Amino acid sequence: MSWAIPLLTLISLCTCCAGQYVLTQPASVSVSVGGTVTLTCEGNNIGRKNVQWYQQMLPSAPRLIIYSDSNRPDGIPERFSGTNSGNTASLEISGAQAGDEADYYCQ
């Protein structure tokens, strides 16, 4: 069984000192249950920024799942992991579950 994890397109990230920062990410990705998927967010030298990832399941508010590039808040499973280097920040979901179908934002 295959299902899609829709992603909202992130238009920009504002930082305190570097002005407006344009990021791009794919509109959606698909993964089979139990598989591994990597979501990416690209921007010039994004590796020099601290990136957060949020998961949103409407109508609920977004939930922080990764902060400062690779740290998980309490209660977030280890199958969610983040990296950030160069021009690409990534969120990896391993052992994907049907309940992971959601919108994911990088910031």
Q: What is the CATH number of domain 2-106?
A: 2.60.40.10
| pLDDT tens profile 6-55 | 443 333 333 333 445 566 667 778 888 889 989 988 888 899 999 999 99
Residue 80 confidence (pLDDT): 97
pLDDT at 43: 85
Cα 20 to its chain centre, rounded Å, is: 20
Separation of alpha carbons 79 and 68, rounded Å: 17
What is the pLDDT at residue 77? Answer: 97
pLDDT single digits (tens) 66-105:
999 999 999 999 999 999 999 999 999 999 998 888 888 8
Q: Which residues pair with 105 in a beta bridge?
A: 54
The number of angstroms, rounded, from the C-alpha of 104 to the middle of its chain's C-alpha atoms is: 5
